[in-house]
Amino acid sequence: MILVTGGAGFIGANFVLDWAATTDEPVVNLDALTYAGNLESLASLQGNPRHTFVKGDITDRALLDRLLAEHRPRAIVHFAAESHVDRSIHGPGDFIRTNVNGTFTLLEAARAHWLSLTGDDKANFRFHHVSTDEVYGSLSATAPAFTETHPYEPNSPYSASKAASDHLVRAWFHTYGLPVVTTNCSNNYGPYHFPEKLIPLMIVNALAGKPLPVYGDGQQVRDWLYVKDHCSAIREVLARGALGETYNVGGWNEKPNLEIVHTVCALLDELRPDPAGSYKRLITFVTDRPGHDRRYAIDARKLERELGWTPAETFETGIRKTVQWYLDHADWVANVQSGNYRDWVSKQYGA
């Protein structure tokens, strides 16, 4: 079996669902169920004996030791993280606690577990660390895309905390021999995405007739990766990635934020037209956030060259599936939009 941390969050939940659909191997799913963790995303696994959910924090060493001793996983896939740049600007302490201290605690628990194994169990154990392209900093409009050897230049409390966790994972491999692999992904989108990030926020606000807040001039460029493609890449790296190596995972879809918003509006105009007119009328430019990186771009050729992985979805197919999913799952959206969520959106975009 494998242990997944953060498996009730956006990418983690998609990975757990994907794992259950493509393998017979059991999963122990550890999640603290903070604001972005949502058990409703895992409702289809209720009663499934191959999925064990445990509410808990990766900073709780006693809990980690107990889970590892009880279940003896052959691998740990580490998603658990505070992940929203805007929230890291307002409250960086949570990001240091979870992303840095939590990863350290998990690494130490994993190392003790690994050292307790023998033979093939020890040789085959893996610690897969899931990270972000934001650790590399920002690119100019004409600079080459990030490769795995690009220097780390994080610019936000979030990306700095993830860079720190990446360095810890690397150090535990080189110092202690812990068998690790790391993936650094670009912007994910798809089902079960908490509506604070760009694409789900635009969909949810548009359907509610609310303003569609776009930072600055909207020309910040990101590479967009459909979450199910990300899950397939993680499976490949976990199975066949070289120990101690980093693999960049991207969708080959560089697009400015404003184009993303226009695409979402056009799809909603087609799939759920508003009698009041095109959803583009709701686009509202707001003050840019501090230190907003201008461009990210992922060069994923190493992953294709060494493991044969390429994304299955184009942006056009993936974004259509995403918009349709939100239209079909209004109850899920309504249930995650708590009072705390509404207060935060008002604080972040109200001006």
Q: Which residues carry out catalysis?
A: 133-134, 158
CA torsion sign for 247, 251, 252, 254 is negative
Per-residue DSSP letter, 43? G
Angle formed at CA 294 by CA 293 and CA 296, multiple of 5 degrees? 85
Reduced to 3 states (helix: H, G, I; strand: E, B; else coil), residue 181 is strand
d(CA 97, CA 164): 12
User: Terminus-to-terminus CA distance in the chain, angstroms?
Assistant: 48
Which tokens go with 96? 């240091």
Angle, to 10 degrees, between the axis of helix 198-207 and the axis of helix 315-328? Answer: 50
d(CA 69, CA 66): 5
